[in-house]
A and B are shown apart, each in its own frame.
Chain A
Amino acid sequence: MFELLRIELYKIWMRPRTYIAFAAITAIVVIFQFAFKADGVSYMNLLLQNVQDNFELDKIKVINGYFMCYIILNTLLIQVPILVALVAGDAISGEANMGTLRLMLTRPVSRTKIIFVKFLASFIFTIFLLVWMAVTALFLSIAIFGVDDMLIFRVKGEESQIMQITSDDVMWRYLAAFGYAAIALTVIAALSLLFSVFAENSIGPIVAAVCIVIVCTVVSNINVPVIEQYVKPYLFTSYLVGWKGFFYIGVNSDNIPIKGSIENWPAIRNSLFILMAHIGILFGAAAWFFNRKDILS
């Protein structure tokens, strides 16, 4: 099993496309950091709008490493599923395309074990992507912008809110958020792997997975009551942004944030369960179809 995993990881790291993901993340992060270093105050003016009429605020302090990472993740975690699909969508179809699938399946290893190892390799790749994101978006931003209290800008129902998290209460939230993102992105890996089982080349499953993510993300963000009520709860993309829940801090009756609290943990927990159920169903389906896949014709 470990040997199989080692071979799968070796194959992933030997493919040039693997590094496209890391290069893309680096490029996006560096561009963001440059833009905010050059003129982050303009962006802050947009977010603060009429708040500035009533309050004085040191905007330079607000544009710190923690805030930067949140802004970058807000953008990146919509694009990263595409990068995960690039690798996971190639797992089986890539073998079929190169003609190595038959050879691989002639070895005395069960198909379930093979697909499980491929799924595990995709999961490890996803973890590496997230670690790279943490290094560039969080730690590099901290090195450039420093640390301070973090502001979260949020639209909640009909209201907009600004939440402040003290600097000593942020890091564990990022740890939890990256953990959540790992599970969310594994759903994409499982989806891409499922499509990969049916295809003879990598393009089809990658494009199919990406299209599903894009369409569902767009639908998830249509703020029309009928969509919000009847469609959104059934789209897995609605739960991909659940990592933000760790930054929605709970408040007391005086509207003062409670350090170490989360506004609605049950909602995050339920989202995690839904995502894990998706992983189970998608991987189960992939294994089921892979076990019945005709490799002779």
Chain B
Amino acid sequence: MKKGLLLILVCVYANGNLYSQNISQLVEAVKQKMAKVHNYEAAGRLKTNVSFLKVPVSDVTVYYKEPDQVKIKSSRGVSFIPKGVMSINTGSLLEGMDYTIIDGGTELVDGIALRIARILPNNENSEVVLSTLYIDPSNLVIIKVKTTTRENGTYELLLSYGKYSSYGLPDKLIFSFNTNDYKLPKGITLDFDNGSTTPPSSKNKARKGRAEINFTRYRINQGLPAEVF
């Protein structure tokens, strides 16, 4: 009886340990896949959707250089680039960071069983408090990232892959973030009241913003001039 109980306990411990090891290995495998990309230049179209911003879709170029340099430049005109979108390179999220990985189990998204890895930075002064990665284990790509930061709230990345999935680079990403209400002092702009109305909003409410980038092409590992950053 005692032997049987001990065997069950050993099995449970071993299974849990194996499971935990698996998620670490999975994260490591994703990291290795992304490590193939040393730099890239990607052309894309940025669509920003924030209630107080009426801005057109703009052409942007995204530059990445390892370990964690990301720059987004507008090809022409003025662009409002959400600050957190700089974290679009999910590989750099794990780069050079001392962290603990906790297995968050599995979640079925669009028919794919995604493995959930919770990344907890070991440095208590880290800007990132918690990152949750939703990983497609068969393709070794990150489908969704939820990151909670100290200063910039919580943001979420949704990634879709196509012809560059072998490098772990998305064809499309949707970035959701918190944004504060925008208020101009009345009288400063002396506006024309044209009678059009906006739906009432609750004061000082934190709003959700959304930015979407559709990538049209990547130039991978062809080097980038230093002045880009």
**Interface residue ranges, A against B (CB under 8 Å):** 47, 49-51, 53-58, 61-62, 74, 78, 148-149, 151, 153-164, 166-167, 221, 223, 228, 232, 238, 241-245, 248-249, 251, 254-257, 259, 263-264, 267-268, 271
Contact = CB atoms under 8 A, between A and B. Distances in A.
Contacts of A149: 77-78
A234 B152 CA distance: 47
A241 B60 CA distance: 35
B54 interface: yes
Contacts of A167: 77
B56 A257 contact: yes
Contacts of A151: 78
Given A157-B197, A263-B196, 18 more contacts: A53-B83, A53-B152, A54-B152, A54-B177, A56-B81, A58-B78, A74-B189, A158-B198, A160-B183, A166-B77, A223-B186, A245-B192, A251-B54, A254-B49, A256-B55, A257-B55, A267-B192, A267-B194
B198 A221 contact: no
12 contacts: A56-B72, A74-B190, A155-B184, A155-B188, A164-B77, A241-B190, A244-B191, A248-B192, A257-B55, A264-B194, A264-B195, A267-B196
Which 8 A-B pairs rank lowest in CB-CB distance, beginning with the nearest?
A267-B194, A160-B184, A264-B194, A149-B77, A244-B192, A149-B78, A163-B54, A164-B55
B16 to A, nearest CB: 41
B78 A158 contact: no
Contacts of A257: 54-56
Contacts of A245: 192, 194
Contacts of A47: 184
Interface in B44-101: 47, 49-57, 72, 74, 77-83
Interface of B: 47, 49-57, 72, 74, 77-83, 152, 177, 179-180, 182-184, 186-198, 200-201, 209
Contacts of B197: 157
A256 B77 CA distance: 15
> Which of A149, A243, A245 has the most CB atoms of chain B within a 10 A radius of its CB?
A149
A268 B194 contact: yes
A37 B54 CA distance: 26
A158 B201 contact: yes
Contacts of B79: 57-58
Contact of A255 (B49, B82, B188, B193): B49
A74 B187 CA distance: 12
Contact of A54 (B74, B180, B190, B193): B180
A160 B182 contact: yes
B78 A267 contact: no
Contacts of B180: 50, 53-54
A158 B202 CA distance: 10
B175 to A, nearest CB: 11
Nearest to B77: A149
Contacts of B51: 159, 255
B135 to A, nearest CB: 28
B186 A155 contact: yes
Contacts of B192: 241-245, 248, 267, 271
Contact of A156 (B47, B53, B198): B198
A22 to B, nearest CB: 24
Nearest to B151: A53
B191 A263 contact: no
B186 to A, nearest CB: 5
B87 to A, nearest CB: 13
A49 to B, nearest CB: 7
Given A55-B83, A255-B51, A164 B196 contact: no
Contacts of A154: 184, 189, 191
B45 to A, nearest CB: 11
> Which of A167, A243, A254 has the most CB atoms of chain B within a 10 A radius of its CB?
A254
A241 B72 CA distance: 38
A268 B57 CA distance: 27
A50 B180 CA distance: 7
Given A245-B192, A254-B49, A267-B196, A54 B56 contact: no
Nearest to A238: B193
Contacts of B196: 156, 248, 263-264, 267
B207 to A, nearest CB: 10
Given A157-B197, A159-B198, A255-B54, A61 B78 contact: yes
Contacts of A62: 78
A42 to B, nearest CB: 14
B184 A57 contact: no
A256 B194 contact: no
Contacts of B82: 54-56
B51 to A, nearest CB: 7
A153 B187 CA distance: 12
